[in-house]
Amino acid sequence: MIDIRLENATLTYLGDSQPIFTNLSVQFTAGNWTALLGPSGCGKSTLLRYLAGLLSEKVNFTASKQAPPINELADNVAYMAQQDLLMPWLTVIDNVCLATRLNGLPVDAATKTRAMALLEQVGLDSKANVPPNELSGGQKQRVALARTLMQDKPIVLMDEPFSALDAVTRHKLQNLAAALLRDKTVLLITHDPQEALRLGEQILVMNGKPAQLNKITPPKSAIPRDIDSEFATIQQSILEHLGGHS
Decide: is 58 part of the binding site for ligand ADP (CB under 6 A).
Answer: yes
For ligand ADP, the closer of residues 81 and 99 by Cβ is 81
243 contacts ligand ADP (rule: CB under 6 A): no
Q: Which of 9, 11, 37, 42 binds ligand ADP (CB under 6 A)?
A: 42
Pairing assessment for the beta strands 65-67 and 21-28 based on DSSP bridges: unpaired
User: For residue 63, how many C-alpha atoms fall within 13 Å in the half-sphere facing its CB?
Assistant: 19
CB of 121 or CB of 214, closer to ligand ADP? 214
Each residue 11-30 as x (binds ligand ADP by CB under 6 A) or -, in order, gives --x------x----------
Q: CA torsion, points 129, 131, 135, 141, in degrees to nearest 10?
A: 90
Q: Are 223 and 201 in contact (CB under 8 A)?
A: yes
Please identify, using beta-carbon distances, which residue of 100 and 202 lies nearer to ligand ADP. 202
Q: Which amino acid is at 40?
A: S
Q: Is 40 in the site for ligand ADP (CB under 6 A)?
A: yes
Cβ closest to ligand ADP, residue 40 vs residue 217: 40
Q: CA dist 26 to 7, 29, 30, Å?
A: 7, 10, 13
The residue range among 41-49, 73-81, 174-182, 232-240 that interacts with ligand ADP, by the rule CB under 6 A, is: 41-49
Using CB under 6 A, which of the segments 42-50, 129-137, 145-153, 229-237 binds ligand ADP? 42-50
Q: Hey, what amino acid is at 54?
A: L
Closer by beta carbon to ligand ADP, 43 or else 200: 43
Q: How far is 66 from 70, CA to CA, in rounded Å? A: 8
Please state, in angstroms and rounded to a whole number, the distance separating the CA atoms of residues 62 and 59. Answer: 10
| Nearer residue to ligand ADP within complex by CB, 17 or 246 | 17
Query: Could you tell which of ligand ADP, Mg ion, none binds residue 118, using a CB distance below 5 to 8 A set by kind?
Result: none
Burial class (CB in 10 A: 0-12, 13-18, 19+), 233: exposed
Over the window 30 to 59, marking each residue x when it contacts Mg ion by CB under 5 A and - when it does not, the resulting string is ---------------x--------------
Residue 191 makes contact with ligand ADP by CB under 6 A: no
Tell which one of 21, 26, 38, 204 touches ligand ADP (CB under 6 A).
38
| Closest residue to bound Mg ion by CB | 45
* Torsion sign over Cα 157, 159, 165, 166: positive
Cβ proximity of 11 and 20 under 8 Å:
yes
DSSP secondary structure, 23-76, as one string: EEEEEE-TT-EEEEE--TTSSHHHHHHHHTT--TTTEEEE-SEEES-HHHHHHT
- Residue ranges that bind ligand ADP, judged by CB under 6 A: 13, 20, 38, 40-46, 58
- Residue ranges that bind Mg ion, judged by CB under 5 A: 45
